[in-house]
């Protein structure tokens, strides 16, 4: 069986950037619905939809590898901001 990275790279070479961005958009919409169902205690597939979104996000970074570092930098800043909020520093 191929590695996760090999599968992602194969998908990136099979489908266009626009196709995968459209798919990501659709999966995000399905995730929104799954969250709404989860909040109402209705049957849902929340974890599956989270996985679908993550797989497509991973593919985006194959199309645009230069954004991966920027993404990680932004994510780190947001985590620092979250930590500050939890510590009671609302100035950020």
Please name the residues in contact with 64: beta carbons below 8 A apart, sequence gap of 6 or more: none
Q: Is there a contact between 52 and 30 (Cβ–Cβ < 8 Å)?
A: yes
Domain ranges of the chain: 4-86
For 36-70, what is each residue's pLDDT tens digit? 999 999 878 999 999 999 999 999 999 999 999 99
Q: pTM of the prediction?
A: 0.85
For 16-42, what is each residue's pLDDT tens digit? 999 999 999 999 999 999 999 999 998
For 11-44, give one letter per residue: b (16+ CB within 10 A) or e: bbeeeeeeebeebbeebeeebeebeeeeeeeeeb
pLDDT surpasses 60 at 92? no
* Beta strand segments in the chain, E: none
């Amino acid at each position: 069986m191929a590695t996760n990275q090999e599968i992602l790279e194969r998908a990136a070479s099979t489908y266009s950037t626009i196709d995968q961005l459209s798919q990501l958009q659709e999966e995000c919409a399905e995730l929104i619905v799954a969250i709404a169902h989860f909040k109402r205690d209705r049957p849902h597939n929340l974890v599956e939809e989270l996985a679908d979104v993550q797989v497509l996000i991973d593919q985006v970074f194959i199309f645009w590898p230069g954004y991966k570092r920027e993404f990680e930098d932004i994510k780190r800043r947001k985590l620092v901001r979250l930590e500050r909020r939890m510590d009671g520093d609302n100035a950020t």
